[in-house]
Structure 1
Amino acid sequence: MKEKDIFKEKAENGYIVCFADNCPLKECCLRYLVGQKMPDTTSSYHCVNPRFQDVGTTNCSLFRKAEKVKYAKGMTHLFNEDMPKRVEPYVRQHLINSHCRTYYYEFRNGERLIPPTVQEEIRQYFREAGWNGDVIFDGFVEDYEW
C-alpha cells in the first residue's frame, strides 16, 4: 500500500490529526501529514486542539515523528534449550506484569508488533535473568509509531 493511501486510511479511521500550519515541526509530524490527506467527504474527525499550550511549538507533546521504526513481530523462538530454566519464567512474568497477559501472548504470537522500547525492555529482562546471549525475535517489520 502506498504511503499516501496509508495516511488517508488513518485519517478516515480516527487517527488524531493536526492542522497547525504555523508549526515548525509540521513537515516531519505524522499528525500534520495525515491531516493533509483528510478527504473533503469526511464531516467530522479527531483533531489536536490548536489552542493547547504547546501545539505549534518545537516542544509539542502531541508530535509524532514521521519516520519508520523497526518493530519486532513474534517471539515464539525467543527461548531456546541453551538457556537456564529460570530465564523463561522470569522474562515471561516480567512482561506480563509490565504490560498484561493478553499483550504478552499477542507479542509472542506476532499479533501485536513489539516497539523498539519494548524490545529493549525484553533484552533487559534477559540480562537480569542472567542470559547474555542473543535475543532472537521471529521477524521484523518497519512502520510508523502511530
Structure 2
Amino acid sequence: MKELVLFKEKAIKGYTVCTSEQCPIKDKCLRWKVGQQMPDNIRFYSCVNPHYQDVGTKQCPSFRKSEKVKFAKGMTNIFTDDMPQRVVTYVRQYLISAYCRTYYFEYRNGQRLIPPAIQKEIRTVFRDAGWNEEVFFDGYVEDYEW
C-alpha cells in the first residue's frame, strides 16, 4: 500500500511514465507501475513516446527496474588515515572531474545518494590508484532508481 502511495505521488510530481500496454517487461518496469497510479484528475503528464525505437521491447531504453536497490549515503570517512596522499588526491580529482565539484560534495556529504553503478566506479578508481583495501561509505539506503 505504501508503494502505491509513493508511486501516485511520483506520478503527480511529473515522473515520466509509460503506457505501453503490449510491452513484455511492463510488470518489472517502474515507469509502467507509476503510470498505473496516475490520477484521473491530471490533465497532462510526461510520458515515454510509445512510437520511439525499442520502446515496448525487451531492450527499452526507458526501462527502470521496479525493485529497490542499495544506495550509499555519504562518503565523509572514505579516505582513511593510513591511506597514501597520492591515492586521496587521485580519487578526489577523478571524482570531481567525472561528476563535477557540486555532485562530488553532495555525494560526500550525503545530500545526494550514490547509485550502485557509481559506488562500483568509485571502488574501481581506488583500485586504479593502488588502494586494495575495502572502501566504506557512511551508510546505505534502499530506494528505487528513479
Q: What range is the shorter-chain TM-score in?
A: over 0.9
The match for 1:110 is 110
- Name 2:15's counterpart in structure 1: 15
Amino acid paired to 1:109: N
Q: CA deviation at 1:58?
A: 1.5
Identical aligned residues as a percent = 64
The CA distance in 1 between the partners of 2:131 and 2:63, in whole Å, is: 36
User: Aligned ranges for residues 117-136 of structure 1 at < 5 Å?
Assistant: 117-136=117-136
Unmatched 5+ stretches in structure 2: none
1:78-132 deviation per Cα after TM superposition (whole angstroms, max 9, x unaligned)? 0111111111111110001111000000000000000111111111111111111
Secondary structure of the residue that 1:66 maps to in structure 2? coil
Q: Does 1:58 align with 2:25?
A: no
- Work out the CA distance in 2 between the residues paired with 1:61 and 1:116: 19
- For the residue of structure 2 that corresponds to 1:95, the secondary structure is helix
Aligned to 2:42: 42
Distance in 2, Cα, partners of 1:70 & 1:11: 23
5+ unaligned residues in a row in structure 1: which ranges? none
RMSD over aligned CA atoms reads 1.1
| Paired residue secondary structure (2:141) | strand
Give 1:53 deviation, angstroms. Answer: 2.1
Q: Count the aligned residue pairs.
A: 146
TM-score, length-scaled by structure 1: 0.96
TM-score by length of 2: 0.96
Report the secondary structure of 1:71's partner residue.
strand
Q: Which runs of 4+ in 1 moved over 3 A?
A: none
Deviations 1:6-41 (A, max 9, x none): 111110111110111111111111111000000111
